[in-house]
Structure 1
Amino acid sequence: MLKETLTPPDKNAFGSFLPLRTKDKHYKFCWDTVLGFFVHLLYDKALVKENADNFKNLCKKRITEKVDEDELWTVLEKMYFENDELYKVSPELLIFKAVKEDISENDKKMGAMFGGLLNGFSLARSPESELNFLEKEIKAEFDSFYVTGEKADDKYKKLPTYLPFLTDYFQKDLAFLNKHPHYFLNNFNAMIRLYGFLYISQIALSIKDWANGEPSSKPCFFILDNERASGERAQVNSFGYKQLHEYIHYLFPYLFMNEALQPSDNIRPLWQLYAELNEQNNSDQQQTLNKLNQFGNEFVEQRVAAKRFNNDQTWHNQESIKDAISELLNVTYAQFDRKTGRLAQYNETPVKGMVNRILNPFIQKRGKAGQVLTFNQDLIVLLTNLAIGTQDKLRFHELIKEFEARGVFFDKQSQQTLIDFYERMGNVERMSDSGDAVHVRKTV
């Protein structure tokens, strides 16, 4: 549970759950590489040495041996090996986007975040029912790389998730998309950007709720990007961007302390750590409390000596494990608070890194209303198809419940805008004027 010996770390740093670090350079990701890295985890395939050009030569050899037409290869090369057309054959071929001499540490850390969200889940392969003869040959050549059964690195497949509920939906949605490979390919990047946002936003909104057990979806309100923002929309203003931006500031300090308390080979989410500590017998709980109080005292003394605070900080021994963890989180956060600490700029870097490099597709500035969270029409269609999944259609209120279960909330005004949007698309069935009688069909 806790480290056998708890010693305050010299630096505020951690490497679990989210790719948060304190320098701007750490937020320079290549999303194509992250996508390829994710694909190698999703289909449980080792990263191959062959790049796309080497693969093209192997395909040329394979196909020209089967089709005795000299001019055919020139045509095929233009069809499948120019302008990224190769990646439209099968989702698995996106792995070539991660084939480089050396994948950057930033890309690996972003990939690790998605590895944790996957939580060991993988797909056997994508179906070939939509492929023509030539595409099947290309896919067969790709599959031949893996006849030895080489798999993805276990260290990424065994990463824990912070949000089991969101991992369940992620796995379910990926399995659904895998049955529709062409649609999957067209929306793969949008899919990982969507779930990257949902994972970070829901961890942020759950991070202070660690004492109440396993997290569930927390309200996070969006508007559609063609809607007007208004100060009168209470849910959008109270539980939208403003709330999310506030809670993001707690991620780095809290996740750092969570990791500082645990052995490096078995780091659990903060809520799980507390639950396990709280389930101990009375004798073990007392020993745990003593360790936490001693650690807290040493931590504060060390940080005071290093001049990490603007005011006096003293550790007062706590009388319960819950209070001890809560106080540890408070003094950790105090280092980064603008009023009480001297490390505020080090926390602003991960906040800005997340907002500007990961969450940015969902954030818009709307005049006097300020920053709001938005969904564009393409993302609404994707989310709608995911929510309906293997069913043909859902009642509108059931669809909204599926959105909310994934962490996407819309107020009544946005819900009416959604219905209007679906009606323009032609995928609505109205049984009456009642909202409960509106059924929405998927488009895939």
Structure 2
Amino acid sequence: MIRSELEPPTNNTLNTYLPLRTKDKHYKFCWDTVLGYFVHALYDKSLVTTNVEHFKKLCKIRFTEILEEPDFWYVLEKMYFEDEQLYKISPELLIFKAVKGEIDTNSKKLGDMYLGLLCGYKVTDAPESQLNFLEKEIKAEFDAFYVTGKSKKDINSNAKEESPYLPFLTEKFQQDLLFLSQKSHYFLDNFDAFIRLYGFLYIAQMALNIKGWASGKPKSKPCFFIVDNEKASDERTQVKTFGYSQLHQYLEYLFPYLVMNETLQDKDHVKPLWLLFEGLNEEHLAALNKFGMDFIQDRNERKIYRTAKMWENASTTKEALTQLLDASFSQFEKKNGVYVKYNEAPVKQTLKTICAPFIQRRGRAGQVLTFNQDYIVLLTNLAIGGHRDKLRLHELIKEFEARGVFFDKQSQQGLIDFYERMGNVERMSDSGDAVYVRKTV
């Protein structure tokens, strides 16, 4: 479970679970590339080695042979290869957004986060779409092109062995992907929003669970939002206490804790912190104590702590791991660490880039977590899922919470008002238990 030889690392680097790095430039992502990279894993396809321009030439040859008027190709070129209409034919074609050998490191690291959340789940067949004759030919050309150029090597053969950090969220992610994969056009229209939603939920729940490693498998933790057209006020204690401020606070622990988690394990077999702890036993205690003393001595000698720390010999693996995590965090702590700026970038840039669609500033209330109406509709459809047409409101709220989205009573009433304006509410009585919400797809 832990490395056979533990030595204090010279640098704090992270290569598992989250794309957290120490400089602002590391957070310049291309979301189109991330989508293409994710699609190659979801549909179990090797990354393409050529760009969409080469594919367009193959389509031109195909249509020139089957059309009575070859010049009609230029009309088709304008229809499908301009304004990205090509990608609305099938989700699989999004793979052209991630060309092998041209993926920037930042986007790949963010894409790897989603692959970790995906945890090996695959959709074997693309959804059946209601395609017209022209679109069927383009899709057929893609299938022929892809089989011809497909690498025989397993696309994940070089992937690190990672257990899901948040099994409950991975389960919902897979469940929601299955539902979306059966709704081709809805999938394509909402794929970007879906990916951004789960990127936020994953990071938020990772942060809220990071310090609970000794309690076993993570669970959905309260994270309160408001609907974006609501007013925020100090009287809404759940929103204030368990909203943005809580998230910001816990984000500070992600990089230091995950770095230590990775330091303790073989690089190709990194497990979540909570799973690492479950695998520790008394046989590991001596090694952990020695490593702890070496780690703190190294940091003291390099003056990374403003005030020298001491290692207290631990009598249990829990005590040892607690001290190691504290020693790692103290490097970045404002009061006692000299690496403060190296943890500020992961916190600030994660909020600015990945979490931004769900954060608003509301006057005296400050920063709050919000859901706009488009995301509410998407989340509602995901929560109801493919095998149901509607859910009682309280059941719907439970499905939201299972994904890490919590609303207080005031926001829940706002949701009912919103659903009623949309016309997808059925009231059997004035009782809240008799309010049903229908999906819109």
Q: Please state which band the TM-score falls in when normalised by the shorter chain.
A: over 0.9
| Residues 1:381 and 2:383 are matched in the alignment | no
Equivalent positions of 1:153-172 (< 5 A) are 153-156=156-159, 158-172=161-175
**Correspondence for 1:395:** 392
CA contact (8 A) 2:162 2:270 kept: no
Q: Secondary structure at the match of 1:155?
A: coil
Equivalent positions of 1:195-210 (< 5 A) are 195-210=198-213
Output one character per residue of 1:399-443: Cα deviation in whole Å (capped at 9) or x when no partner: 000000000000000000000000000000000111110100101
**Correspondence for 2:296:** 300
Displacement of 1:7 in angstroms is 0.8
Equivalent positions of 1:30-41 (< 5 A) are 30-41=30-41
**Correspondence for 1:282:** none
CA contact (8 A) 2:162 2:271 kept: no
| Residues 1:413 and 2:416 are matched in the alignment | no
| Residues 1:218 and 2:215 are matched in the alignment | no
**Correspondence for 2:42:** 42
Q: Secondary structure at the match of 1:249?
A: helix
> Counterpart of 2:184 in structure 1: which amino acid?
P
- Give the TM-score normalised by structure 1: 0.96
Which residue, 178, 182, 192 being the options, matches 1:179?
Answer: 182
In the alignment, the residues of structure 1 paired with residue 323 and residue 186 of structure 2 have an alpha-carbon distance, to the nearest angstrom, of 49
- The 3 A distance-change label for structure 1 pair 162 and 248 is same
> Counterpart of 1:14 in structure 2: which amino acid?
L
**Correspondence for 1:436:** 433
> Counterpart of 1:338 in structure 2: which amino acid?
K
CA contact (8 A) 2:27 2:353 kept: yes
In the alignment, the residues of structure 2 paired with residue 61 and residue 82 of structure 1 have an alpha-carbon distance, to the nearest angstrom, of 18
CA contact (8 A) 1:17 1:113 kept: yes
CA contact (8 A) 1:119 1:158 kept: no
In the alignment, the residues of structure 1 paired with residue 338 and residue 161 of structure 2 have an alpha-carbon distance, to the nearest angstrom, of 36
In the alignment, the residues of structure 2 paired with residue 371 and residue 297 of structure 1 have an alpha-carbon distance, to the nearest angstrom, of 41
- The 3 A distance-change label for structure 1 pair 129 and 107 is closer
Displacement of 1:100 in angstroms is 6.4
In the alignment, the residues of structure 2 paired with residue 241 and residue 430 of structure 1 have an alpha-carbon distance, to the nearest angstrom, of 33
Q: Which moved more, 1:387-396 or 1:140-149?
A: 140-149
Count of paired positions: 437
In the alignment, the residues of structure 1 paired with residue 155 and residue 123 of structure 2 have an alpha-carbon distance, to the nearest angstrom, of 12
> Counterpart of 2:429 in structure 1: which amino acid?
S
| Residues 1:62 and 2:62 are matched in the alignment | yes
Displacement of 1:341 in angstroms is 1.1
**Correspondence for 2:250:** 247
In the alignment, the residues of structure 1 paired with residue 72 and residue 121 of structure 2 have an alpha-carbon distance, to the nearest angstrom, of 40
Displacement of 1:101 in angstroms is 5.0
**Correspondence for 1:280:** none
CA contact (8 A) 1:119 1:157 kept: no
Equivalent positions of 1:87-126 (< 5 A) are 87-99=87-99, 102-126=102-126
Q: Which moved more, 1:142-151 or 1:237-246?
A: 142-151
> Counterpart of 2:337 in structure 1: which amino acid?
G
Q: Secondary structure at the match of 1:364?
A: strand
Q: Secondary structure at the match of 1:229?
A: coil
Displacement of 1:154 in angstroms is 2.7
* Root mean square deviation of aligned Cα: 1.3
> Counterpart of 2:248 in structure 1: which amino acid?
H
CA contact (8 A) 1:116 1:158 kept: no
In the alignment, the residues of structure 2 paired with residue 72 and residue 128 of structure 1 have an alpha-carbon distance, to the nearest angstrom, of 27
> Counterpart of 1:416 in structure 2: which amino acid?
Q
**Correspondence for 1:351:** 347
**Correspondence for 1:262:** 265
| Residues 1:145 and 2:145 are matched in the alignment | yes
In the alignment, the residues of structure 1 paired with residue 159 and residue 268 of structure 2 have an alpha-carbon distance, to the nearest angstrom, of 13
In the alignment, the residues of structure 2 paired with residue 159 and residue 39 of structure 1 have an alpha-carbon distance, to the nearest angstrom, of 19
Q: Secondary structure at the match of 1:14?
A: coil
> Counterpart of 1:134 in structure 2: which amino acid?
L
> Counterpart of 2:430 in structure 1: which amino acid?
D
